[in-house]
Amino acid sequence: MSPRSTTHRSTTSAGTESVGTESLKRRTLLGLLTAEAAAAAFLLRRRTPSEPAAPTPPPTRTPEPDQSRTVTTADGRTAHLLALGPSTELLDRIAAEVDAAVGAVTAFWGPDWRRDITIITAGTDAEFAVLAGGGPDFAASTTVEHIVFAPGAAAMGPGALRIVLRHELFHYASRLVTAADAPWWLTEGVADYVGRPHTPVPGPQQAGQLAVLPTDADFRVSGPALSLAYDRAWWFTRFVAARFGEPTLRRLYLVGCGTGHPDTDTALTRTLGMDRDTLVVTWRQWLTG
């Protein structure tokens, strides 16, 4: 998930082509999304007699033909973009960024990831929750099937949208090799490494606050504490890439987040050759510049 915070070579279709293979695939996908949202909304409405009644989520709308886009990226991937809300402005902004975002993910992760990408812009917070489990503190969320942007993402500036799209696209690319119990500091830190621009190190005044590996519990809060957890995870991945190289950071992700992964201390020692305490000291020194 992403907290609310170059010339692109892309070929964009406005979704007005005649009925054919691509049009049929899109209409089939729209039908599946509508069925998925309806089923999930039903589950959200279920409650035990002792539970208070929850507001019934509004029905998820099926997009009209002009509320979808298809983007073919420079490396031949196909991004299917769907708007569930009445506005397509966010969809158009995402379409303009997809090609560069795919390039950023591939530059770090390598080319071996899915060729078809599905990105949805939700029209309501309920749709965001139904389709991707997203909450009010997040601009976007990713599942195995798709990336979903919250309605509030439309208010993001160009830089923030670029970061969120690349962050979520990395989750999408790595999802199939990421264990369900992978540590959040590593999954979110590497996603931010791919998504965020590499600003200068903060210096000694912030090094002590930032040089702390966050726990999963740190990502279950909200507000400034959640932002700090993301910053700490990001700065650690920045440190690993600078000190050991990007291929080692990618290997750390595969070791620490893959199926049957060891605990964090073992993953760090096995991949980086240092124990956690030594790494934190070295990390803090690096942060001071």
pLDDT confidence of residue 1: 73
pLDDT confidence of residue 19: 28
Q: What pairs with residue 12 in β-bridges?
A: 71
Last residue within a domain, chosen from 177, 192, 224: 177
* Among 94, 84, 93, 92, CA closest to 117: 94
Per-residue pLDDT tens over the stretch 172-183: 999 999 999 999
Contact 70/22 with Cβ under 8 angstroms? yes
48, 57, 128, 203 from 288: Cα distances, Å? 54, 49, 40, 4
End-to-end CA distance of the chain: 29
* Among 95, 99, 108, CA closest to 189: 108
- Domain extent at residue 276: 184-287
Identify whether residues 69 and 158 lie together within a single domain. yes
Identify whether residues 205 and 65 lie together within a single domain. no
Last residue within a domain, chosen from 110, 144, 177: 177
pLDDT confidence of residue 41: 33
* Among 273, 275, 255, 257, CA closest to 265: 275
Specify the higher pLDDT residue, 35 or 243.
243
Confidence of residue 8 (pLDDT cuts 50, 70, 90): very low
pLDDT confidence of residue 25: 37
Alpha-carbon distance of 204 to 157, in angstroms, equals: 30
Percent of the chain at pLDDT above 90? 75
Per-residue pLDDT tens over the stretch 85-103: 889 999 999 999 999 999 9
Q: Can you tell me the mean pLDDT for 131-141?
A: 93
Across 25-144, where does the E strand assignment appear? Answer: 68-72, 78-83, 116-121, 138-142
Specify the higher pLDDT residue, 44 or 207.
207
Contact 274/252 with Cβ under 8 angstroms? no
pLDDT confidence of residue 3: 62
pLDDT confidence of residue 289: 87
pLDDT > 90? residue 114: yes
Confidence of residue 136 (pLDDT cuts 50, 70, 90): confident
Let me know the angle formed at the C-alpha of 201 by 194 and 233, rounded to the nearest 5 degrees.
Answer: 45
Identify whether residues 190 and 172 lie together within a single domain. no
Q: Strand order in 2-3's β-sheet? A: 2-3, 138-142, 147-149, 116-121, 78-83, 68-72, 11-13
| 170 Cβ contact partners less than 8 Å away, ≥ 6 residues apart | 105, 108, 109, 190, 191, 194, 195
* Among 216, 276, 277, 273, CA closest to 245: 273
Identify whether residues 110 and 19 lie together within a single domain. yes
Per-residue pLDDT tens over the stretch 21-78: 333 334 334 444 544 443 333 223 222 233 333 444 445 555 555 799 999 999 999 9
Identify whether residues 172 and 223 lie together within a single domain. no
Identify whether residues 162 and 58 lie together within a single domain. yes
Identify whether residues 162 and 259 lie together within a single domain. no
Identify whether residues 213 and 153 lie together within a single domain. no
Last residue within a domain, chosen from 162, 177, 192: 177
Average pLDDT, the chain: 83
Let me know the angle formed at the C-alpha of 223 by 219 and 227, rounded to the nearest 5 degrees.
Answer: 55
Backbone phi and psi for residue 147, each to the nearest 5 degrees, phi listed first: -105, 135
Identify whether residues 189 and 169 lie together within a single domain. no
Counted domains in the chain = 2
Per-residue pLDDT tens over the stretch 180-201: 999 999 999 999 999 999 999 9
pLDDT > 50? residue 133: yes
Longest alpha-carbon distance in the chain: 61
Identify whether residues 130 and 194 lie together within a single domain. no
Identify whether residues 29 and 90 lie together within a single domain. yes
Per-residue pLDDT tens over the stretch 209-221: 999 999 999 999 9
Let me know if 13 is exposed, middle or buried by CB neighbors in 10 A (0-12, 13-18, 19+).
middle
pLDDT > 50? residue 251: yes
**CATH number, position 140:** 3.40.30
Identify whether residues 109 and 153 lie together within a single domain. yes
